[in-house]
Amino acid sequence: MEMKLFKKQEAGLNQQTPTRAQQRASLLDGPSLKIWLDSSIMGLGASFDKWRYHRGPEEEITQHIEAITVIWDEIRKRGNNE
C-alpha cells in the first residue's frame, strides 16, 4: 500500500508546469542544445572566476547552474541520438 502512495507522489511531481527554460530547451534541436550547454558551461567558468577573484555576483553562477541542469536533463531525456 505504501508503494502505491509513493508512486502517486512521484507522478504528481512529474506533472509540474515546465519552466520557461524547460519549454525553450524542449523546442531546440539536439545540436542547438549542445551549443547552449557548451556556452553555459563556459559562462559558468567565467562567472565563477569573477565571483571568486573579482567579487562578482553569485547570482550569475546560480543562473548558469540552473541552465546547465535544464539543458542536461533535456539531452538525457532524448538520449544520445542527436
Judged on CB neighbours under 10 Å (0-12, 13-18, 19+), 3 is exposed
Domain boundaries, the chain: 18-78
Percent of the chain residues topping a pLDDT of 70? 78
Of the two residues 7 and 61, the one the predictor is more confident about is 61
Task: Write out pLDDT tens, residues 41-71.
Answer: 999 999 999 999 999 999 999 999 999 999 9
Q: What share of the chain is helix, strand, coil (3-state, %, to 5)?
A: 80, 0, 20
36-66 burial, b for 16+ CB within 10 Å, e for fewer?
A: bbeebeebbeebbeeeeeeeeeeebbebbee
pTM beyond 0.85: the answer is no
Count of CA atoms in the C-beta half-sphere (13 A) of 45:
5
The pLDDT score that the predictor gives to residue 58 is 97
The pLDDT score that the predictor gives to residue 12 is 53
